Amino acid sequence: MRVDFYHLQTSPLERALPTLLERVMQAGKRAVVMAASDDRIEALNNHLWTYNPNSWLAHGSARDGFEAQQPIYLTTKEENPNGASILVLTDGMAAGFLSTFERCLDLFDGTAEPAVAAARQRWIEAKNAGHELHYWQQTESGSWAEKAT
């Protein structure tokens, strides 16, 4: 199982997440996005509908219903009701069910030392579990540069 760590430095999660989710959708995959609270889920849910007036990114949460039909499902729980192959972790979330996905994207705030320290710990845990690891750092332009494997 592959785990990609995304070190956010020049843009917040709200700007980086939609682009990564667009790539997931373009690859014909489904995703589960885990966040820390119901309020955060609701904020991300609203944001993903409005982040770009020229784009439409289908998604939903338990509040929206039709969980199994959502290409991108937002949750605070360890669940995969939409049969996703991609898990996206935000807000420092950790998941004990990583191996049920083909890939995990772990997005963390590189401007906050506690978030960086927690991501380092998740890296160690993923490495010890035998996962294939990749580390991406955000560039000044907001794109991604792979720094380690």
Q: Where are the domains of the chain?
A: 2-148
pLDDT tier, 76 (very low <50, low <70, confident <90, very high otherwise): very high
Average pLDDT over the chain, rounded to an integer: 95
Domain 2-148: CATH superfamily is: DNA polymerase III subunit chi (3.40.50.10110)
Rounded Cα distance, 61 and 36, in Å: 14
pTM, two decimal places? 0.96
Does residue 56 carry a pLDDT above 90?
no
- Asked whether the beta carbons of 74 and 59 are under 8 A apart, the reply is yes
pLDDT at 55: 86
Structural element, H or E, at residue 118: helix 113-128
d(CA 95, CA 111): 23
Residue 7 to residue 99: CA distance in whole angstroms:
22
Does 142 have pLDDT greater than 90?
A: no
Q: What tens digit of pLDDT does each residue of 78-133 get? A: 999 999 999 999 999 999 999 999 999 999 999 999 999 999 999 999 999 999 99
